[in-house]
Structure 1
Amino acid sequence: MLASTSGDLDLPLDDVVIVFACSENFVPYLSVAIQSIVDNASASRRYDIIVLTRNISPASMITLTRQTKADNVGIGFLDVDAALGDIELPHHGHFRPETYFRLLAPQLLPNVDKAIYLDSDLIVDDDVAGLYDVDVTGYPLAATRDADTIGQIEGYDTTVGPYLKNELGMSDPHDYFQAGVLLMNLAELRRTITPEEFLDLSTQRMWRWLDQDVLNKVVDGNYVRVHMRWNYLMDWQHLRRTHIIANAPADVRAEYEEAAADPAIIHFAGPDNRPWLYPDADRADLFWHYAMRSPYLDEIRGQLEESRASAAGLAKRLQVIAIYKGIMPAFDKVCPAGSRRRDAVIRSYMALGGSNL
């Protein structure tokens, strides 16, 4: 059995429980997410935030604890090393090993029956208790359909559908959910799968979207659908909406547009174009609205300025412009979504070792 450490948390854990997974490098952005939760918390509810980590420093823990100084908000930290041991978590691209930590939540929080899981690259622009109150009785979790993935299935990248069907074993790939925001029925998950089984699946191979794929493989569409406003995927590079999700069925496009008009959670998902480096990114203004009250504001501003002034930062920006403003639009024009030519090029790229964004 993996280690259980929830007894180390000096928190009530009797109302809204929120779980993050984070490394020291990502603490400034976690701080912004936490600030957004605090700013929108109801005075009549209790909010306990648990951060799963391997390396957040004591100094950062103190800073984050001081940040959550409201009477009805608490924070605690759980070290996952005892649970993971020497397990190597496969990852690639912009993904980090911390993404797998959510799979340990059922075991690490044995006395908690339900918890929200949030990625650290997002802001909450509503009372998150509204998500927590969703009824997940009899289901392992609640989540939003992944509009981006469904758009890829329907023509943007036709290798995705067969991958989800044949390699993940999903009954209907259109049921694939986005795992950056979850309402986890921890009690149900403990009844249906062990953390050892989760980790065994995670380390069997390099999944395209890592533990998100593992969760979808296990759940296979048996989840409560919540509206995409609870996980609005920012219009990455201002291409996601017009180039990827545009291929999705009408109901998916309509729900995404509704979410864009009234987002409760804005998820800055993608390999780059994050608002702390690109102030013209979709909904960057809201990120900075909450960042202004973060104790890490100066550090976040410093990283932005360094990315603008340093040689490495400028080179990265030029690369991003070349790829996403030049190569990708040209590729979409020469190889339209859903075309045989596009499918052949993508399959050749993947065969040569290309990876997903």
Structure 2
Amino acid sequence: MLATSSRELPLDLNDVVLVFACNELFVPYLSVALQSILVNVSPSRHYDIVVLTRDITPKSMITLTQQASKHNVGLGFLDVDAALGDIKLPHHGHFRPETYFRLLAPTLLDNVDKAIYLDSDIVVCSDVAELFDTDVTGYLLAATRDADTIGQIDGYDPTVYAYLKDQLGMSEPHDYFQAGVLLMNLEKFRQTITAEELLDIATERTWRWLDQDVLNKVVDGHYRRVHMKWNYLVDWQYMRRTHIVAQAPKDVQDEYDEARRDYRIVHYAGPDNRPWLYPDSDLAGLFWQYAAGSPYLEYLRDQLEKSRRTVDGMARRIKAVAIYRGIMHAFDYTCPAGTKRRQKFIEYYERFGGSVG
């Protein structure tokens, strides 16, 4: 069931093509994302979903395939190990090596002209064919501006501007895009840059936002912008909107707020506060609405209960409250966004080994 080439997949790949990257541990959340897509497909289109992986088990593949089987949706699994070889992918924090797999999509799907890439921590609330039909002629990809990162640039973490400008080499850091939802022009990628070149950039150092930085470095602001409603970043810890995005230019804030009112894809991006562990997190109810149709519903419910009742789960919650609603709020109060005091503190923190990535 695990193909080594897109030509081996039992898929037509001739209409709407979607790509995920996932490991075995994340399969239940991928299943919720899949369910949200299935609910919103158009009967007049055909959808093929390719999952890039190296460790999803046959049992999980069967479960996911059965989930999709009653719809006009094909599902296949593509092994990335042959393309990666012995390359070690640097990562840190809550990021996993699978995040790099999207860099391999142009090579692995060599018979596909374009595809939507989706992170697995999303739910789709509309027909993705509308996004797929976006014209990307002349661009490597279409994406949304990253309201979170732009807010950091403009005051929440002023060191980000220098990082994107001097280390990533971006001409204009405010053009930085969010890579959790991408419409990739795979044909142009193959004409422009090889997978080996992308992986060379990825492994030359540990980038702050990993392969998202790699793609932004390569694209350097030349991408087709799509509205943030196609990649709405939830109000993480109920701080993203009021503390981070609030520092961004007015047009970015306005677009973020518009996306909130008319989201098409919801992205549960952030190092913590995921809806499967925190049912009071932003738009968690939407996640559980789609989870109700997932074959992993009981597993997800059990995981939520363990996070509430076990010692480890409670310790994690206490730690999250202490950091995000205690220390970070105190820091925002004593070192307000946009001040030189804040910038100096962050610079010293990073100099002595701290990480804010």
Q: Smaller-chain TM-score range?
A: over 0.9
Q: Distance in 1 between matches of 2:76 and 2:240?
A: 35
SS in 1 for 2:182: strand
Matched, 1:216 2:216: yes
Q: Distance in 2 between matches of 1:23 and 1:353?
A: 30
The residue aligned with 2:321 is 321
Within a 5 Å distance, the mapping from 1:173-184 to structure 2 comes to: 173-184=173-184
Paired AA for residue 145 in structure 1 = R
The residue aligned with 2:353 is 353
Paired AA for residue 194 in structure 2 = T
The residue aligned with 1:343 is 343
Matched, 1:246 2:246: yes
Within a 5 Å distance, the mapping from 1:264-275 to structure 2 comes to: 264-275=264-275
Within a 5 Å distance, the mapping from 1:50-129 to structure 2 comes to: 50-129=50-129
Whether contact under 8 Å (1:4, 1:110) holds in the other structure is no
SS in 1 for 2:214: helix
Whether contact under 8 Å (1:4, 1:107) holds in the other structure is no
Q: Distance in 2 between matches of 1:313 and 1:158?
A: 34
1:356 Cα shift? 2.4
1:254 Cα shift? 0.1
The residue aligned with 1:132 is 132
Query: Kindly, what percent of the aligned residue pairs are identical?
Result: 69
1:92 Cα shift? 0.0
Instruction: Return 5+ residue gaps in structure 2 as ranges.
Output: none
Whether contact under 8 Å (1:93, 1:355) holds in the other structure is no
Whether contact under 8 Å (1:4, 1:109) holds in the other structure is no
Q: Distance in 1 between matches of 2:9 and 2:166?
A: 42
User: Structure 1-normalised TM-score?
Assistant: 0.98
SS in 1 for 2:154: helix
Give deviations 1:310-353, integer Å, cap 9, x for gaps: 11110110011111111111110100001111001101111122
Q: Distance in 1 between matches of 2:197 and 2:240?
A: 34
1:69 Cα shift? 1.3
The residue aligned with 2:312 is 312
Whether contact under 8 Å (2:38, 2:71) holds in the other structure is no
Shift >4 Å, 4+ stretches: none
- After alignment, is 306-315 or 142-151 more displaced? 306-315
Q: Once superposed, what is the RMSD of the aligned Cα atoms?
A: 0.9
SS in 2 for 1:17: strand
Paired AA for residue 163 in structure 2 = Y
Q: Distance in 1 between matches of 2:72 and 2:114?
A: 18
Give deviations 1:61-84, integer Å, cap 9, x for gaps: 000000001341010000100000
User: Structure 2-normalised TM-score?
Assistant: 0.98
SS in 2 for 1:174: helix
Q: Distance in 1 between matches of 2:70 and 2:16?
A: 14
